[in-house]
Amino acid sequence: MRLLGWLGVLIRHDALAPREITPLLPVWARWIAHLLHLFAGREGREGRPGQRLGKAFEHLGPVAIKLGQVLATRADIFGVEFARDLGRLKDALPPFPVDQARREVERSLGRPVESLFIDFGPPVAAASLAQAHPAMLADGRKVAVKVLRPGVERRVAHGLDSMRLAAGLAVRFVPLARRLEPAAFVETIARALTLELDMRLEAAAASELGEIMGKSAATGDIGGHMTAPKVIWDGVGKRVLTLEWAPGLPLTDPAAAEQPGIDRNALADNVVRAFLSQALDHGAFHADLHEGNLFCHAPAELTAIDFGIVGRLGPAERRYLAEILWGFISRDYERIARVHFEAGYVPPEHSVEAFAQALRAVGEPVIGKQASQVSMGRLLGQLFEITDLFDMHLRPELILLQKTMVSVEGVARRLNPDHDLWAAAQPVVERWIRRELGPQAQARDALNELRETLKALSRLARNPPQPQTVIVRETHLPRWAGVALVVTAAAAAAALVLSLWPAIV
């Protein structure tokens, strides 16, 4: 019944088959669209399609709003006007009263608001799960106090139940959807949203990602242009999070990119590079990087907020990602194809050469092109056709990565319509490839393997295998044998390093 209610809301807002696109539909589908228009309410007769869909998502609750936030980053696919109309879902939803927020703070922290904050102002931003209030600490620091919406847990649970049912119906009745693994997709989103409803976990994520961003900045990495506000741990509870105030203006503010000294091109590059640096170098990344969660100040510095969703990649996934990106940058389509097969992304019964040919058809028209010259809608359609042709399924472990890449590229395009994603990514990926797959990495890996071999041989020397039918009187190798083993291993290691030294330096 709740799922039918979702459909009813979309129909009432004329957001399921908007009247503006009816003439573009096939003849048989136009009759269905006209029938749906008869049930549109007053909400469906006013405003533009993006405005109507935004209101419908707002009515449906946090899960639908999260989807709207992603759609709002892709003006290149859905149109600037449509994306702008959905933009209010990022941080401009109706807030709940200040008195209610104060009660939530006191209940969560177990102390009066005045015992921690000398001033607690009205909300300055309201999103799907929480809203942010400006406040002042006794030491004069300005902070942002994030408070969960009352009853939001129940609304999220109801939304996820509806999504689970919709995923099950899609698997059963829409064969084309099975390849997209809708059930795994919903469970990945459900897990992320569940974690996002505990502000203590978000505080830990903010602290962790803040350290990661700080490491990049300290070493002068090209991904070191994003920071995280410091966590005020005295102001953290299950439903409350307190962070130092983020400098600059949010990217949702039209004035943000017009601040004196702002370099929009560098800002677009830094969004991409900071994300890739987090994902590749550290295996943990901010997985909700839309404009409402990014503040900027001159010349091209970024501060991220809202750390409820953190994406994580293991060493294997990081390597696959780097090699795939590097393959596109260097136009080595056979290498990209091999990586897909090694990772299991493409079933082994297909041809590596044929898949490389398909990738070339995707890559060549877009590599090196300005963003304004690339039709993302057509590109996504072509990618979908290729994944169907080669029986590729959605990978649950990559869902947050793919979602964030879509958002990040959308933010970069909004800042610079001619942004070159590949040129921005190249320094980060090239550095990772050189460090992890170059001569230095080969020497390091060889030494690690040698170290493990020595440990195994040492264990064998201490505890040699004993046949049950033979009585062994000497249970240890002679001391000279152990010394010889170590000397031989050290000599081998030295020879290996010397042979690779010219390449390393």
Cis peptide bond upstream of 299, omega within 30:
yes
Q: Which two tokens stand for residue 16?
A: 């399921």
Nearest Cα to 352, choosing from 328, 336, 363, 329? 336
State the maximum Cα–Cα separation within the chain, in Å, rounded to a whole number.
94
> What backbone torsions phi and psi does residue 386 show, to the nearest 5 degrees?
-65, -45
Residue 8's CB is within 10 A of a number of other CB atoms, namely 13
Is residue 198 annotated as a catalytic residue, yes or no?
A: no
Nearest Cα to 55, choosing from 44, 40, 70, 63? 44
Marked catalytic residue, from 14, 281, 288, 306: 288
Q: Are 133 and 144 in contact (CB under 8 A)?
A: yes
C-alpha distances (whole Å) from 239 to each of 89, 204, 230, 286 are: 21, 14, 18, 20
How far is the C-alpha of 163 from the C-alpha of 156, rounded, in Å?
Answer: 10
CA angle in degrees (0–180, nearest 5) for 49-51-57: 100
Nearest Cα to 382, choosing from 390, 370, 394? 390
Checking phi first, is residue 156 left (phi over 0); if not, alpha (psi -120 to 50) or beta?
alpha
What is the DSSP-derived secondary structure letter of residue 224? -
Residue 368's CB is within 10 A of a number of other CB atoms, namely 12
> What backbone torsions phi and psi does residue 468 show, to the nearest 5 degrees?
-65, -25
Q: Which two tokens stand for residue 408?
A: 């990040």
- For 138-153, b where at least 16 C-beta lie within 10 A, e where not — what string? eeeeebbbbbbbeebb
Active-site amino acid positions: 288
